[in-house]
Structure 1
Amino acid sequence: MKAWTQKILFAIVCFISMSTAAQYTETVNTNNPGLSQGAFAVGKGVAQVEGNLFYRTEEHHLQRYERDYTGLSMQLRYGAFMERLEFSYIGTFASVKQSDNRGFGNVDSKFSNFSRSTIGAKYLVFDPLKFWGEKKVNLLSWKANRRLNWKDLVPAVSIYAGANIDLSETNSLTPPNDPSFSPRFELITQNNWGQWVFVTNFIVDRISTDYPSYEWILTMTHSINRKWAVFGEYQGFKSDFYSDDLGRGGIAYLISKDWQVDASATINFKDTPSVFQANVGMSYRFDFHKDDEAISQKKNLKGTGDDKGKKNKKKKKIDF
Structure 2
Amino acid sequence: MRTLKSFFSLLILLSFSSVYAQYTEVINSNRPGVSKSAFSVGTGVVQLEAGAFTVNEEHVPLNYEVNGFGLDFAIRYGLLFEELELSLDGVYQNDTFTNNNAVIPVEDPRSNMKNFTLGAKYLIYDPYKNAEEAKPNLYSYHANRKFQWKSLIPAVSIYAGANFDTKDNPYTAPDVEGVSPKIMVATQNNFNGGWVFVMNLIKDRIGSEFSDFQYILTLTHSFTPQWVIFGEAQGIKSDFYADNIFRFGGAYLWTRDFQLDANIAFNTKDTPSVFNIAFGASYRLDFHQDKKIDNGNGNDGNFKKKRKKKKKKKEEKVKVLDGFDN
Which of 178, 181, 186 does residue 184 from structure 2 map onto? Answer: 186
Q: Is the 8 A contact 1:175 1:211 kept in 2?
A: yes
Amino acid in structure 1 at the alignment position of 2:243: D
Q: 1:114 to 1:149 in 2, by over 3 A?
A: same
Report the AA paired with residue 227 of structure 2: W
1:92 matched to 2:100 = no
1:238-270 Cα offsets, whole Å, 9 max, x none, are 000100001100010001000000000001010
Is residue 173 from structure 1 mapped to residue 187 from structure 2 by the alignment?
A: no
Amino acid at match of 1:184: K
Aligned to 1:152, what secondary structure does the other structure show?
A: helix
Instruction: Give the alignment of 1:35-114 within 5 angstroms.
Output: 35-114=34-113
One-letter amino acid of the structure 2 residue matched with residue 202 of structure 1: L
Cα offset, 1:23, TM superposition: 1.0
RMSD of equivalent CA atoms: 1.7
TM superposition shift of 1:69: 2.5
- Counterpart of 1:35, as a letter, is V
Cα deviation, residue 151, structure 1: 1.1
1:210 counterpart = 2:206: no
CA shift in 2, pair 1:288/1:241, >3 Å: same
Closer, same or farther: CA 140–55 of 1 in aligned 2, 3 Å: closer
Aligned equivalents of 2:270 and 2:252: distance in 1? 33
> What is the distance in 2 between the residues matched to 1:141 and 1:31?
31
Asked which structure has the greater CA Rg, the reply is 2
2:258 corresponds to 1:254: no
Deviation at 1:104, TM superposition (A): 3.2
Residue equivalent to 2:239? 240
SS of alignment partner, residue 129 of structure 2:
helix
Q: Deviations over 1:113-151 (max 9, x none)?
A: 000000000001111110533504567877665443321
Instruction: Provide the rounded CA distance (Å) in 2 between the counterparts of 1:244 and 1:135.
Output: 40
Once the two structures are superposed, what CA deviation does each residue of 1:263-301 show, in whole Å capped at 9, x if it has no partner? 0000101000000001000000000001169xxxxxxxx
SS of 2:101's equivalent in the other structure is: strand
The answer to whether the Cα contact below 8 Å between 2:167 and 2:177 also exists between their aligned partners in 1 is no
**1:133 paired residue number:** 132
Partner of 2:95, secondary structure, is: strand
> How much has 1:175 moved relative to structure 2?
1.0
Letter in 2 for 1:269: T
SS in 2 for 1:241: coil
Which residue matches 2:120?
121
Equivalent AA in structure 1 for residue 190 of structure 2: N
Give the letter aligned to residue 169 of structure 1.
K
Distance 1:231 1:206 in 2: 28
- Cα deviation code 1:172-196 (max 9, x no counterpart): 0111121301111111000111310
Q: What is the letter of the counterpart of residue 184 of structure 2? A: E
Q: Distance in 1 between matches of 2:91 and 2:133?
A: 39
**In structure 2, how many angstroms separate the alpha carbons of the residues matched to 1:98 and 1:85?**
41
What code does the residue aligned with 2:286 have?
D
- SS of equivalent to 2:93: strand
Taking the aligned partners of 2:104 and 2:227, their CA distance within structure 1 comes to: 49
CA contact (8 A) 1:93 1:112 kept: yes
Matches within 5 A, 1:14-33: 22-33=21-32
Distance 1:48 1:164 in 2: 21
Structure 1 unpaired stretches of 5+: 1-20, 294-320
TM-score (norm 1): 0.81
Distance 1:77 1:126, change over 3 A: same
The percentage of aligned residue pairs carrying the same residue is: 48
1:284 aligns with 2:304: no
**Aligned pairs (5 A) from 1:2-17:** none
Cα distance in 2 between the residues matched to 1:78 and 1:138: 34
SS of residue paired to 2:128 = helix
| Cα distance, 1:105 vs structure 2 | 2.2
SS of the residue 2:80 aligns to? coil
Do the aligned partners of residues 291 and 139 (structure 1) sit closer, same or farther apart at CA in structure 2, a change above 3 Å counting?
A: closer
- The 5 Å alignment of 1:140-159 reads 145-159=144-158
Q: CA deviation at 1:169?
A: 2.5
Contact 1:23 1:41 in 2 (8 A): yes
Paired residue for 1:303? none
| Maintained 8 Å contact 1:51/1:283 | yes
State how far apart, in whole Å, the 1-side matches of 2:129 and 2:61 are. Answer: 53
Give the helix-richer structure, 1 or 2: 2
Q: Tell me the SS of whatever aligns to 1:102.
A: coil
Separation in structure 1 between the aligned mates of residue 144 and residue 195 of structure 2, nearest angstrom: 16
Higher RCO structure, 1 or 2 (CA under 8 Å, sep 6+): 1
Number of aligned residue pairs: 272
Corresponding residue number in structure 2 for 1:297: none
For residue 152 of structure 1, report the CA deviation from its aligned partner: 1.1
Asked if 2 retains the 8 angstrom alpha-carbon contact of 1:22 and 1:291, the reply is no
